[in-house]
Chain A
């Protein structure tokens, strides 16, 4: 009887997974496996299909030797770090400031969430337009406040291009982090604060020793999502800079796209994508390990 019950549990547990396996397996897992497979072959996007030839890691080697892969990794990494740090810090500040309850809270939060609902295609164009050196509104503010003497070509200047795309990314993603952190803050039991208050602990210490530990899980999952999102970021770059100026914003996504659909070297494009997936998986393993160890 007991044994039967366990068997039933096992089967039921497995059956529940079937829809997800079918959908994700069929429409993401399989194409990924196929692309991984192509990354080891000389595979050009031509009409006449020639038999695939194994090129003994040739796609990976030539990407590495040209230095483009390393460059793209470094650009992607810089971008990701800028966005994650900004989004996290600003999100935390907002969550702390708006976690006071009271009137108008709902309205304030709704307003803060609005950028999240703006389609990425529009976000990219909107910011390119506001960053315009000739008639962009950002330059107007900077000039008016006498922060700059001359308009800046944000997306064209090699020193500002990456940061400018990051600003657009932060704008779109900040609401998500804000809402996650706010939710986390509201989970902190108020008795904890009251106890700290009676002890007369300074606010910074309260934050460090009470608030942050409670937020750890929220921070872990939301930052991981942010990291993955920004590692994958493509539309913002493609629309705002196209990888320029002088390759300064050529991320892994742009490099993969260019190889597959500009050069028609699909094998090389798949190799970029594969290196990147490998990097992300290793990264997330380390990431989870670090967070787990921090628990004790």
Chain B
């Protein structure tokens, strides 16, 4: 019996541990690019992406594109598993908080040699800067946005505020909030005035960090040392606490929750990525035209700030078809394709020539007020633990709100966690 066991074990060990085969290269026939993305099969976008694929294949007969779709929350894990098994997809759609993981793991290729200096030089310098690690960018921005402020014009009018005059500072926003929170909807439910996401997901951490930036805080002190303690952070946390205690902000909300509330007219203002408002429109198409958009707010006299929010396109270091992949990215980010895509979900073009060369786009209602966005962007770390840093930021926000802690206690805990993560 023992012998049988041993043989079985050896046999199976062989097929488990055999060396990672590199990317299989087929020499003849069309090249097939694998594109891992969470957007391609979402109901709202699938038609656009099928057309993109067909257009690209028609223009490049020697290249085929295979879509590998995964749900948003599963994509990072999936790419890691596949890359570790030597089957990395060629092109990867990437979210802000995962970028550092892919770069620090060495999974993705440097972009400039593939895309060319002209393409890279056309990207807004603030955005490109934020994607660089040791002077090199490992992806290109596809759709971009800071955390902008959306507001419901109807509710502004009902509260006696000027629907064409959104606040520009947090102090102003809190004054507006007092008026808005006195309103009720047609069913008699209360209206939330000012939504700031604090749910336990990385993207909410980016939103909290943006708020810190806007108050002149951040996760590094003036000397560039990691620190969670600063005047700016204290002011930001105190204002979060105020928003929570006065019932302006739904507690612990994820961005999806805020979009739902916006859609049903129970939220006056909230911070979101530009394309996020598409979620509200999907629920209530009548909201189109009733939502105003403004740049991030400044707090405590500090200039308005935000993290860069972007979907990025990355090329796998293991890909056998990097050149073809770059070709696809160039096609997908062409002005024509970007124009079509942005009809479905508003976003900012990350390349200067495209913004300047497309007057239609620049004058669009949901875009024009925030075209100045690049100047609000603060670069953040490209540390492998960044995703955890974002989560730690949401924890700090939860501490001062549902946790009932003081701003100082939350900062101390954050400081300890940051120093532990970013050492």
- Within 8 Å of chain A (Cβ to Cβ): is B360? no
Which of these, B77, B260, B388, B398, contacts A263 with CB under 8 Å?
Answer: B388
Q: For the complex, give the distance between the alpha carbons of A133 and B251 in Å.
A: 9
Instruction: Name the CB-closest residue of A to B385.
Output: A263
Which of these, A34, A132, A262, contacts B257 with CB under 8 Å?
Answer: A132
Q: Could you tell me which residues of chain B, from 400 to 415, have a CB within 8 Å of some CB in chain A? A: 402-403
> Which of A155, A157, A264: most chain B CB closer than 10 A?
A264
Instruction: Name the CB-closest residue of A to B106.
Output: A47
- Within 8 Å of chain A (Cβ to Cβ): is B367? no
Binds B, one of A1-9, A23-31, A92-100, A110-118: A23-31
- Distance in angstroms from B12 CB to nearest chain A CB is 5
Q: For the complex, give the distance between the alpha carbons of A258 and B201 in Å.
A: 12
- Within 8 Å of chain A (Cβ to Cβ): is B399? yes
Q: Could you tell me which residues of chain A, from 246 to 266, have a CB within 8 Å of some CB in chain B? A: 246-247, 258, 261-264
* Given A153-B251, A261-B77; A246-B317 close (CB under 8 Å): no
Q: Could you tell me which residues of chain A, from 1 to 57, have a CB within 8 Å of some CB in chain B? A: 14, 21-22, 25-26, 30-31, 34, 44-49
- Within 8 Å of chain A (Cβ to Cβ): is B273? no
Task: Check B76–A261 contact: CB distance below 8 A.
Answer: yes
Q: For the complex, give the distance between the alpha carbons of A157 and B401 in Å.
A: 10
- Distance in angstroms from B223 CB to nearest chain A CB is 27
Q: Could you tell me which residues of chain A, from 220 to 255, have a CB within 8 Å of some CB in chain B? A: 238, 241-247
Query: Which chain B residues lie closer than 8 Å to A75 at the CB level?
Result: none
- Within 8 Å of chain A (Cβ to Cβ): is B80? yes
* Given A30-B12, A263-B384; A133-B250 close (CB under 8 Å): yes
Can you list 5 pairs linking A and B with CB atoms under 8 Å apart?
A: A47-B317, A153-B250, A244-B199, A261-B76, A264-B104
Cβ-closest 4 pairs across A and B: A244-B200, A156-B252, A47-B106, A261-B77
* Given A47-B317, A156-B251, A262-B388; A31-B398 close (CB under 8 Å): no
Task: Check B395–A244 contact: CB distance below 8 A.
Answer: yes
Task: Check B252–A245 contact: CB distance below 8 A.
Answer: yes
- Within 8 Å of chain B (Cβ to Cβ): is A105? no
Q: For the complex, give the distance between the alpha carbons of A47 and B106 in Å.
A: 5
Which of these, B16, B189, B395, B402, contacts A153 with CB under 8 Å?
Answer: B402
Q: For the complex, give the distance between the alpha carbons of A15 and B200 in Å.
A: 51
- Within 8 Å of chain B (Cβ to Cβ): is A163? no
Which of these, B80, B261, B387, B403, contacts A245 with CB under 8 Å?
Answer: B403
- Distance in angstroms from B391 CB to nearest chain A CB is 8
- Name 14 extra pairs, CB < 8 A, besides A34-B17, A46-B107, A245-B398: A45-B80, A47-B318, A49-B20, A132-B257, A133-B251, A134-B250, A156-B199, A156-B402, A158-B398, A158-B402, A242-B200, A258-B388, A263-B384, A264-B384
Interface size on A, residues (CB 8 A): 37
Task: Check B399–A246 contact: CB distance below 8 A.
Answer: yes
Question: Contact residues of B with A, CB < 8 Å?
Answer: 1, 4, 8-9, 12-13, 16-17, 20, 73, 76-77, 80, 83-84, 101, 104-107, 189, 192, 199-201, 250-253, 257, 260-261, 264, 266, 317-318, 384-385, 387-388, 394-395, 398-399, 402-403, 420
Query: Which chain A residues lie closer than 8 Å to B420 at the CB level?
Result: 66
Instruction: Name the CB-closest residue of A to B13.
Output: A30
- Distance in angstroms from A251 CB to nearest chain B CB is 13
Task: Check A245–B402 contact: CB distance below 8 A.
Answer: yes
Q: For the complex, give the distance between the alpha carbons of A17 and B20 in Å.
A: 31
Query: Which chain B residues lie closer than 8 Å to A263 at the CB level?
Result: 384-385, 387-388
Q: For the complex, give the distance between the alpha carbons of A70 and B200 in Å.
A: 21
- Distance in angstroms from B164 CB to nearest chain A CB is 28
Task: Check B1–A158 contact: CB distance below 8 A.
Answer: no
Query: Which chain A residues lie closer than 8 Å to B318 at the CB level?
Result: 47
Instruction: Name the CB-closest residue of B to A261.
Output: B77
Query: Which chain B residues lie closer than 8 Å to A46 at the CB level?
Result: 104-107
Query: Which chain A residues lie closer than 8 Å to B394 at the CB level?
Result: 244
- Distance in angstroms from B67 CB to nearest chain A CB is 22
- Distance in angstroms from A261 CB to nearest chain B CB is 4
Query: Which chain B residues lie closer than 8 Å to A261 at the CB level?
Result: 76-77, 80
> Which of B101, B201, B252: most chain A CB closer than 10 A?
B252
Task: Check A47–B105 contact: CB distance below 8 A.
Answer: yes
Instruction: Name the CB-closest residue of B to A160.
Output: B402
- Distance in angstroms from A21 CB to nearest chain B CB is 7
Instruction: Name the CB-closest residue of A to B399.
Output: A246
- Distance in angstroms from A163 CB to nearest chain B CB is 15
Which of these, B1, B83, B257, contacts A47 with CB under 8 Å?
Answer: B83
Task: Check B387–A262 contact: CB distance below 8 A.
Answer: yes
- Distance in angstroms from B267 CB to nearest chain A CB is 9
Task: Check B266–A134 contact: CB distance below 8 A.
Answer: yes
Task: Check A264–B105 contact: CB distance below 8 A.
Answer: yes
Query: Which chain A residues lie closer than 8 Å to B80 at the CB level?
Result: 45, 261, 264
Task: Check A158–B387 contact: CB distance below 8 A.
Answer: no
Instruction: Name the CB-closest residue of A to B77.
Output: A261
Query: Which chain A residues lie closer than 8 Å to B17 at the CB level?
Result: 34
Q: For the complex, give the distance between the alpha carbons of A194 and B109 in Å.
A: 79
Task: Check B76–A25 contact: CB distance below 8 A.
Answer: no
* Given A134-B257, A244-B395; A48-B200 close (CB under 8 Å): no
Q: For the complex, give the distance between the alpha carbons of A134 and B187 in Å.
A: 13
> Which of B189, B395, B398: most chain A CB closer than 10 A?
B398
Which of these, A30, A246, A262, contacts B16 with CB under 8 Å?
Answer: A30
Q: For the complex, give the distance between the alpha carbons of A44 and B80 in Å.
A: 11
Task: Check B84–A45 contact: CB distance below 8 A.
Answer: yes
Task: Check B8–A25 contact: CB distance below 8 A.
Answer: yes
Q: For the complex, give the distance between the alpha carbons of A44 and B20 in Å.
A: 16
Query: Which chain A residues lie closer than 8 Å to B257 at the CB level?
Result: 132, 134
Query: Which chain B residues lie closer than 8 Å to A133 at the CB level?
Result: 250-251
Query: Which chain B residues lie closer than 8 Å to A262 at the CB level?
Result: 101, 387-388
Task: Check B388–A47 contact: CB distance below 8 A.
Answer: no
Q: For the complex, give the distance between the alpha carbons of A117 and B333 in Å.
A: 44
Query: Which chain B residues lie closer than 8 Å to A30 at the CB level?
Result: 12-13, 16
Q: For the complex, give the distance between the alpha carbons of A241 and B402 in Å.
A: 14
Q: For the complex, give the distance between the alpha carbons of A34 and B14 in Å.
A: 12
- Distance in angstroms from B8 CB to nearest chain A CB is 7
> Which of A26, A30, A66, A245: most chain B CB closer than 10 A?
A245
Task: Check A246–B403 contact: CB distance below 8 A.
Answer: yes
Task: Check A26–B200 contact: CB distance below 8 A.
Answer: no
Instruction: Name the CB-closest residue of B to A153.
Output: B251
Instruction: Name the CB-closest residue of A to B404.
Output: A158
Query: Which chain A residues lie closer than 8 Å to B76 at the CB level?
Result: 261
Q: For the complex, give the distance between the alpha carbons of A44 and B384 in Å.
A: 11
Q: For the complex, give the distance between the alpha carbons of A153 and B192 in Å.
A: 15
